[in-house]
Structure 1
Amino acid sequence: MERSIRYSKKREAILAAIQGTSCHPSAEWIYQQLKPSHPDLSLGTVYRNLIFFQERGDIRSVGVIQGQERFDAVVTPHSHFVCEYCGAVIDLPHLTLDSEMDHAVSQQYGLMVYRHELTLHGLCPDCIKQKKSKEETRS
């Protein structure tokens, strides 16, 4: 028997916070954003709802970046760029994910690949500017 899902203002606010930003928030970021308008919100409630939304397919985890799991409301396949300095996560929606690779990996390794994700790592434009600025100051 399927359990009914009760409506919750906090649950709705948590999902709206994730869907309303492109920063790929952490649970802590969501908590800090919502705490002023929901004083009885706990970090545990945020975590439980993030798990709930992932299980329903409303959001997905981008991975752990600088010690915090980050989330994305865009669940269609797309790639990401992670800045190794500031931790920014940037969507790369126009980078083509080659489905041929899924087939090739399946064949080569005897696996059944359904999809793959690509995450590039480096420095974002702001951090590149900061790095150049620091280097010019030292010269």
Structure 2
Amino acid sequence: MEKKQNFSRKREAILEALRETKSHPTAEWIYQQLKPSFPDLSLGTVYRNLSRFKEDGTVVSVGVVDGQERYDADVTPHSHFVCESCGAVLDVDDEFVDPESDREVSRILGVQVLSHQVIFRGYCGACMEKLQAEKGQ
């Protein structure tokens, strides 16, 4: 029997907070943003709802950055860039893996690919400027 999803103001607020930012936030960030409006909100509630959103495909996990899982409400195919210095996560709008890759990997390995992620890592513009300024001293 499928569980009925009840409407929840907190659940809606969590999803809205995630949709309104491009920062790919952590559960802690979402919790801090919503706590003033929902004093009885718990971090556990945020985690449970994020888990539910991931299960139903409403949000995706970008992965763990600096020990905390990061989330994205943009579920359209796209890649990410993660700054190794400050932990910023940026969207890369163009898909840098050929759409045929899923089929090719499926064929070669004898598996069924449901999705894939491409994550670029390096230094964001602000961190590169800091590094260059430190070298110039």
TM normalised by structure 2 equals 0.93
Q: Any gaps of 5 or more consecutive residues in structure 2?
A: none
The amino acid of 2:17's aligned partner reads: A
Residue equivalent to 2:121: 121
The amino acid of 2:82's aligned partner reads: V
Residue equivalent to 1:46: 46
Evaluate the alpha carbon distance shift between residue 35 and residue 99 of structure 1 in structure 2; reply closer, same or farther with a 3 A threshold.
same
More moved, 23-32 vs 91-100: 91-100
| Aligned 8 A contact 1:99 1:115 in 2 | no
More moved, 93-102 vs 49-58: 93-102
| Aligned 8 A contact 1:78 1:97 in 2 | no
RMSD (CA atoms): 1.3
The amino acid of 2:135's aligned partner reads: E
Give 1:59 deviation, angstroms: 0.3
| Aligned 8 A contact 2:77 2:95 in 1 | no
Residue equivalent to 1:109: 109
Give 1:106 deviation, angstroms: 2.4
Overall identity of the aligned pairs, in %: 55
Residue equivalent to 2:58: 58
Per-residue CA deviation, residues 113-135 of structure 1 (Å, 9 max, x unaligned), is 23321100000001000111111
Query: For the residues of structure 1 that align with 2:95 and 2:102, how far apart are their CA atoms?
Result: 16
| Aligned 8 A contact 1:84 1:123 in 2 | yes
Q: Any gaps of 5 or more consecutive residues in structure 1?
A: none
Per-residue CA deviation, residues 97-126 of structure 1 (Å, 9 max, x unaligned), is 312222222233232223321100000001
Residue equivalent to 1:94: 94
Evaluate the alpha carbon distance shift between residue 112 and residue 56 of structure 1 in structure 2; reply closer, same or farther with a 3 A threshold.
closer
Give 1:66 deviation, angstroms: 0.4
TM normalised by structure 1 equals 0.92
| Aligned 8 A contact 1:23 1:89 in 2 | yes
Evaluate the alpha carbon distance shift between residue 128 and residue 85 of structure 1 in structure 2; reply closer, same or farther with a 3 A threshold.
same
SS in 2 for 1:90: strand
Give 1:47 deviation, angstroms: 0.4
Query: For the residues of structure 1 that align with 2:46 and 2:135, how far apart are their CA atoms?
Result: 41
